[in-house]
Amino acid sequence: MASVDIALATIAFKRKIAYKTTWLFSVLFGGWALLAGLAVWNHLLGDGELGGYDWQAMKAYLVIGFLTGTLAWAGAEWDMANRILDGLVAIDLTKPVDFQRARAAEYIGGMVASVPAAVLGTAIAVLVFRPAGPASPLAAALTVFSLLFIFPLAFGISYLAILCCFVTQRFLGIQWAKDSMVAFFSGMMIPIALMPGWLQGLSWAMPFVHFTTTPASIYLGRVDTAGALGLIAAEAAWAVGLLVAARLIWRQLVKKVTVHGG
């Protein structure tokens, strides 16, 4: 990693922690979604089970979703989008730093700033709600390893979303569409196991599933060690695939840059 990447990541990190109120509320978002999810699934499950999830397992599933959600969407997404919308991207093009690489450094710097809050929030949630424990120590270790891929995956998806700003005038609607895609196809809205077969296949064919279902499946032992390693390999492949796809799309979209009508 070059010093310029570290410098950009550090700046993004400092910018993130400078707005303390905003930072705090980003954790509250996840906290609220977790509490609402717990209320809904407590009502739906009762003493029974749905899709192989009983109440203890569902609590673990939702807490993992809270952790990944808080980490994943703490990056500097709006800063990236605004660079394109405001035309700052024109200045970026004159700099001797690759745009995608620079934004990746900033995004991951922003995500790192959310790690303490995400870990603290998860620890509190575990202490208060007492979810099911990991299936085995190996499953716990593999879960943590799979969570590391959230960083490049979240950047890849956010970066593809912000590239839409080359053809739109606003990011808000794009962000909501992306957030709802992630919420649904990650299994956060409703577990993938409850979906009909064709929708399960569609979900597993997309990268979003690795935000909740993959780490939760490994943690709860719904997949064996070979299955867990396969899922982690799929995460790695998506991380690389998204970066390459974004680079190809960028090459086409950058031709559309018009700044102040020029």
Q: Which residues bind other proteins (CB under 8 A)?
A: 19, 21-22, 25-26, 28-29, 32-33, 36-37, 39-40, 43-44, 50-51, 78-79, 82, 164, 167-170, 172-174, 176-177, 180-181, 183-184, 189-190, 194-196, 199
Q: How far apart are CB 179 and other proteins at their closest, in Å? A: 8
If the CB atoms of residues 18 and 148 are measured against other proteins, the closer one turns out to be 18
Structure tokens at 33: 């979604």
C-alpha triplet 20, 24, 25: angle, nearest 5°: 120
If the CB atoms of residues 76 and 228 are measured against other proteins, the closer one turns out to be 76
If the CB atoms of residues 37 and 215 are measured against other proteins, the closer one turns out to be 37
Q: Rounded to the nearest 10 degrees, what angle do helices 172-185 and 77-85 cross at?
A: 140
Beta carbons of 100 and 247 less than 8 angstroms apart:
yes
Q: How far apart are CB 240 and other proteins at their closest, in Å? A: 26
Beta carbons of 209 and 185 less than 8 angstroms apart:
yes
Q: How far apart are CB 244 and other proteins at their closest, in Å? A: 22
Q: How far apart are CB 21 and other proteins at their closest, in Å? A: 5
C-alpha triplet 148, 152, 153: angle, nearest 5°: 95
If the CB atoms of residues 164 and 209 are measured against other proteins, the closer one turns out to be 164
Provide the β-strand partners of residue 50. 53
Length of the chain measured in residues: 262
Q: How far apart are CB 176 and other proteins at their closest, in Å? A: 6
Q: Nearest CA to 212 among 105, 104, 70?
A: 70
If the CB atoms of residues 126 and 195 are measured against other proteins, the closer one turns out to be 195
